Chains A and B, each alone.
Chain A
Amino acid sequence: QQQVKQSPQSLIVQKGGISIINCAYENTAFDYFPWYQQFPGKGPALLIAIRPDVSEKKEGRFTISFNKSAKQFSLHIMDSQPGDSATYFCAASMINSGYALNFGKGTSLLVTP
């Protein structure tokens, strides 16, 4: 049972454009929502994370928007670069499960020159 639903499955964006990836969850007990970036053959690396008491968080070109009432959150990558081409996973966790991460299915992002 997928606890976090992610879309789109794949995304192609031109260099300089904005990449937007969306996620939705059902379990209101989740209280930590990270985004991970993964390159082929590598482990995932934390990009940015947010808690439900905040509606937006920005770190450099990466922004998380969080809508608690809609149980949705999204990742925006501004000024997308070819080096951003990777697979992105949203995830959710809660303290009750020791913060074991429930991952979305991933979005394969390709940024064209």
Chain B
Amino acid sequence: GAVVSQHPSWVICKSGTSVKIECRSLDFQATTMFWYRQFPKQSLMLMATSNEGSKATYEQGVEKDKFLINHASLTLSTLTVTSAHPEDSSFYICSARAQGGGNTGELFFGEGSRLTVL
């Protein structure tokens, strides 16, 4: 099956620093990637939709200047949390939709990246 890899799987940083999380589709090309955020014991909340070669579309309430998303190639999207604060501590998960996936709707998820901001 299709594999989506996220790196790092966990990261601890100091308040005020920036953290970059990578999402790679290993065996397929992903036209569209989605970034989700999940707090403990809660559901996944869509943050933004990332299309290769164009600007990401952010959901209402998500600060685009704080959560920078870049989708420079068909196999890589990155999420950068800028000037991180403790309230940004969360589980960030990406998912990818295969290019040419037609209207199957199937998304493949990464293993998630746990961010802890001290």
Q: Which residues of A contact B (CB under 8 A)?
A: 31-32, 34, 36, 41-46, 49, 89, 93, 95, 97-106, 108
Q: Do the beta carbons of B43 and A95 come within 8 Å of each other?
A: no
Q: Do the beta carbons of A49 and B43 come within 8 Å of each other?
A: no
Known contacts A100-B46, A101-B46, A44 near B109 by CB under 8 Å: yes
- Chain B, interface residues (CB within 8 Å), range: 20 to 34
Bitwise, B40-52 to A at CB < 8 A (1) or not (0) is: 0111111001010
Q: Which residues of B contact A (CB under 8 A)?
A: 4, 6, 32, 34, 41-46, 49, 51, 93, 95, 97, 103-112, 114
Q: Do the beta carbons of A95 and B103 come within 8 Å of each other?
A: yes
Known contacts A42-B111, A43-B109, A99 near B43 by CB under 8 Å: no
Q: Do the beta carbons of B97 and A99 come within 8 Å of each other?
A: yes
Interface centre among A95, A98, A102, A105 (most CB of B within 10 A): A98
